Chains A and B, each alone.
Chain A
Amino acid sequence: MNTIKQEMRKKRIETFWKSFRSSSMGMIGAVILIFFIVISIFGPLFFPFNPLEFGEPGNVLQPPGDSHLLGTDNLGRDIFSNLLAGGRVSLMVGLLATVISMFLGTAIGVVSGFIGSKTDMILMRLTDFFLVLPWLPLVLVLAAILGTSIWNIILVIGLTSWAGTARVVRSQTLSLKERPFIERIRSIGADDTTIIIRHILPNVFPLVFANTILITAVAILSETTLSFLGLGDTTRSSWGMMLHYAFQSGAASSGAYWFFLPPGICVVLVVLAFTFLGYAFDEMMNPKLKRR
C-alpha cells in the first residue's frame, strides 16, 4: 500500500515539476527568489559594516566608492549592509504574515463551506466586510494604534488579508462536499473532523497555495509602504525604512540616487518574483485557465 502511495506522490511531483519548468515566468520568479533567500540567510555573515551604525560626520551621503560599495546614507550608514539586512526583514514579514493569513483564510473557508447554514452566513458577512474595507487605510490605522514593531506589522497584515483566500476555499469546499467520495467515506463511519483534515484540506491546498503566494507579494509591499509612511520598526533596517530615510532627507532632490534606487529595486524584484510564481501556479492549477 505504502509503496503505491509513494509512487503516486513521486509521479505527481514529477508532473508538477515538468509543467512548472515549461513556464518561463515561474522559473524567472524561482531564480530571483532563491537568490534573495540565499543572500538573506548568508549575507549578514559578510556584512562589510554594521547596518545600524552611524558613520563619521564627514562620511555622510557618500556616493558608491571603494570603502562603501553602494555609498552611505544621510547618517553615514553603509547602504550595501542595510540592503542585505533589509532582505531578511522583508522576507520574514512576507512569509509570517502569509502564514497567519493562510491559516485564517483556510480555516474560515473550510468551516464556512462545510458546516453551511447560519455559521456560513455569519462567516461570509465577516469575509465581505474585510473584502470591501479599503486595505491600506485599514492597515495604517491598525498599525498606528497598535504601535510600530515588526511583530505588530506582521500581525496587522496577516489579520487583514485572509478574506480572498477564505472565499476561494469556501467555494472549493462546497463543491468537494457534494462529491460521491465524501459520501462514501462518511458511510463507512468517518466523522467531520477526519473528513475535513484527511480529505477536504488536501484537495483545497493547491488553490490556497497559488493564492497565498500572491498574498506574500502584497505583504512585502505593505511592509515597505508602512515603513515608508513612518509606521515602520525603527530598531531594524528594512528596505521600507531605507526609503523612508531617503524621502525624509530629500535624497531625490539632492540627486543621491544610490540612496533611493537600490532598496526600491530590491523590493520590486522580490515582489515580482512572488507575483510571477503566483501567476505560474495559478496557470497550472486553475482548471478554468487551462481551457483557454
Chain B
Amino acid sequence: MKKLYVLKKILQSLLTIFFVLIFNYFLFRIMPGDPLAMIMRNPRASAEAIEKTKELFGLGEAWYMQFLIYLQNLFQGDFGLSFIYKKDVLEVIWDKILPTVIMVGLAQILAILIGVLLGVIAAWKRGTKIDVIALSFSLITYSMPTFWLGIILISIFSIGLGLFPTSGMLTPGKTFLSTLDMIRDGTLHLVLPVLTLSLVLIGEYALTMRNTLLDVLTEDYMTTVRAKGFDDNYILKKHAVPNAMLPMITIIAINLGLTIGGAIQVETIFSWPGLGRLMYEALNGRDYPLLQGIFLLITISVILANLIADITYSYLDPRVKS
C-alpha cells in the first residue's frame, strides 16, 4: 500500500513539473506584441544572443512544433545565451548554486534548531511571559521585510561596530596565506547573511512548532501518559516533542519557497554571489533567458523537495495511508 502512495506522489510531482514547463512556455511568450520584440529592445542582448533565442523559440514553425522544440531544448539543458554574461545560461547558473546552498543551508539548520527550541518553550510555558516574548518576537520578524532587516544588521554590525564585512563572499584582491586564513575570511562574510535569513525563518518555525505542540498536548494519549504518572519533563521529551516534530518536515519543505524568496533579498543586500543575486541581476537587466533558467531551476527543486518530504513523512507517520 505504501508503495502505491509513493508512486502516486511521484506521478503527481511529475505532472506538476509538466505544468510548470507549460506555464513557463507561455509565461515567457506572453510579452505584448511579437514575443521577440521585448528581447530585441534590450540593449544588452547581443546579435548572437538574439539569433540563439530565435532558434530556441523555433520562430517560423507551427505553434505545436515551437512547443516541442522548447521541450527538446530544455531536456538537452539548452536555455539559450544570457544577455548580461554572454554565456550559456546553464553555465552561468552552475557557478552560483554552491554559494546559495552553503548560505541557505546554514541559515536553515540554525533556524530549525533555534525555532524548534523556542516553539517548544513557548508552548510548554503557554500564557507566561516567556511565551508572550517568543510569540511577539516571531510575529515581528515575520512582519519584517527580509531586506530591511539585512540593511539594519549591516548598519549596526558592519558600519557601526565594524565587526563584519558588508558584502561579497571573500575580501576581493586579498591574497590568503593559508587555507585556514581563507576559511576565516569566508566565515566572517557568511555571518550576517546567514543571521538575517535565519532570523526571518526562526519566527516561522517557532510559530509552527508552538501550534503543533499545543495540538499534540490536547491529544488523548497525552492524558494517558500523564495518568501513568510520568513527570512533565519526561512527557515533553519522550512523547510530545517527537510527535510535534513530524509536521515540521512538511513545513520545512513548504517553507523552502519562502526561504528562496528570503535568499533573493539577502543575496541582493549582501552581494552574495549566489542564485538570488543572479536573479536580481537578471530581473533588472531584463535578461529573459537567464531569468527563465533560474525560475525553472528553483521551481523544480521546490517541487522535488516537497516530494521527498511527502515520502519521508509517509514512512515516519504510520497514520498516512494510501
List chain A positions with a Cβ less than 8 A from chain B: 125, 128-129, 131-138, 140-142, 144-145, 217, 221, 224-225, 228-231, 243, 246-247, 252-253, 255, 257, 260, 264, 267-268, 271-272, 275-276, 279, 288, 291-292
Question: CA A140 – CA B287 in complex, angstroms?
Answer: 13
Q: Mark B130-172, 1 if CB is under 8 A from A, else 0.
A: 0000000001101111111001101100010000001000000
Q: Is the CB of B264 within 8 A of A136?
A: yes
- Do B16 and A221 touch (CB < 8 A)? no
Known contacts A229-B283, A243-B148; is-contact A141 B214 (Cβ 8 Å): no
Q: Does B215 contact A (CB under 8 A)?
A: yes
Query: Assuming A133-B20, A243-B147, A247-B147, is B261 touching A141 (CB within 8 A)?
Result: no
B291 part of interface (Cβ distance < 8 Å): yes
> Interface on chain B toward A: helix, strand, loop, or mixed SS?
helix
CB–CB A145/B30 < 8 A: yes
- Once A and B bind, how many residue pairs between them come within 8 Å at the CB atom? 131
Contact of B154 among A145, A252, A276 (CB under 8 A): A252
Q: Which of A137, A217, A255, A276 contacts B279 (CB 8 A)?
A: A137
Contacts of A140 in B (CB 8 A): 264, 279, 283
A292 touches B218 (CB 8 A): yes
User: Which chain B residue lies CB-closest to A267?
Assistant: B145
Is B50 in contact with chain A by the CB < 8 A criterion?
no
**A129, B217: Cα distance in complex, Å:** 33
Q: Known contacts being A144-B286, A145-B31, A292-B214, is A272 close to B257, with CB within 8 Å?
A: no
A243 and chain B: residue at smallest CB distance: B148
Interface residues of B in 3-43 (CB under 8 A from A): 12, 15-16, 19-20, 23, 27-28, 30-31
B295 within 8 A of A: yes
Q: A133, A253, A267, A288: which contacts B148 (Cβ < 8 A)?
A: A267
The yes or no answer to B306 lying at the interface (CB within 8 A) is yes
Is B223 located at the chain interface by the 8 A CB criterion? no
Q: Are B283 and A230 in contact (CB under 8 A)?
A: yes
Which of B144, B218, B299 sits near A133, CB closer than 8 Å? B299
**Least CB distance, B244 to chain A, in whole angstroms:** 13
Given A247-B147, A272-B143, 17 new contacts (CB under 8 A): A131-B254, A133-B257, A133-B299, A136-B261, A137-B261, A137-B279, A217-B143, A225-B261, A230-B283, A230-B284, A243-B148, A247-B151, A252-B151, A255-B159, A260-B155, A268-B143, A276-B139
Q: Are B256 and A231 in contact (CB under 8 A)?
A: no
What is the size category of the interface that chain B forms with chain A?
35 or more
Contact A253 B166 (CB under 8 A): yes
User: Separation in Å of the A274 CB from the closest CB of chain B?
Assistant: 8
Take A135-B261, A279-B139 as given contacts and tell me if A229 and B30 are in contact as well, using a CB distance cutoff of 8 Å. no
Q: Is B268 an interface residue (CB 8 A)?
A: yes
Cβ of B269 under 8 Å from chain A = yes
Contact B166 A228 (CB under 8 A): no
Residues of A within 8 A of B30 (CB): 145
B298 within 8 A of A: yes
Cα of A183 to Cα of B152 in the assembled complex, Å: 58
Cβ-based interface call for B245 (8 A): no
Is residue B100 within 8 Å, beta carbon to beta carbon, of the partner chain?
no
B280 at the interface (CB under 8 A from A): yes
Which residues of B lie under 8 Å from residue A267 when comparing CB positions?
144-145, 148
**Known contacts A141-B27, A145-B27, A275-B139: A229-B280 contact under CB 8 Å:** yes
Give Cα distance in the complex from A272 to B141, angstroms.
9
> For window 245-304 of chain B, which residues contact chain A by CB distance below 8 Å?
254, 256-258, 260-261, 264-265, 268-269, 279-280, 283-284, 286, 291, 294-295, 298-299, 302-303
- A129, B16: Cβ atoms under 8 Å? yes
From A135, A230, A252, A288, give the contact of B159 (CB < 8 A).
Answer: A252
Q: How far is B135's CA from A182's CA once the two chains are assembled, in angstroms?
A: 40
| A279 neighbours in B (Cβ, 8 Å) | 139
| CB nearest neighbor in B for A144 | B283
Which chain A positions have C-beta within 8 A of B27?
141-142, 145
> Are the C-beta atoms of B148 and A135 separated by less than 8 Å?
no
Would A134 and B155 be within 8 Å (CB), given that A221-B145, A224-B145, A243-B147 are in contact?
A: no
CB distance from A18 to the nearest CB of B (A): 20
A112 to chain B, nearest CB (A): 17
Contact A141 B291 (CB under 8 A): yes
Q: Which of A137, A231, A255 contacts B155 (CB 8 A)?
A: A255
The CA of A276 and the CA of B143, in the complex, are separated in Å by 10
Distance to closest chain A CB from B267 (angstroms): 11
With A136-B264, A252-B154, A292-B218 already in contact, the answer to whether A243 and B145 are too (CB < 8 A) is yes
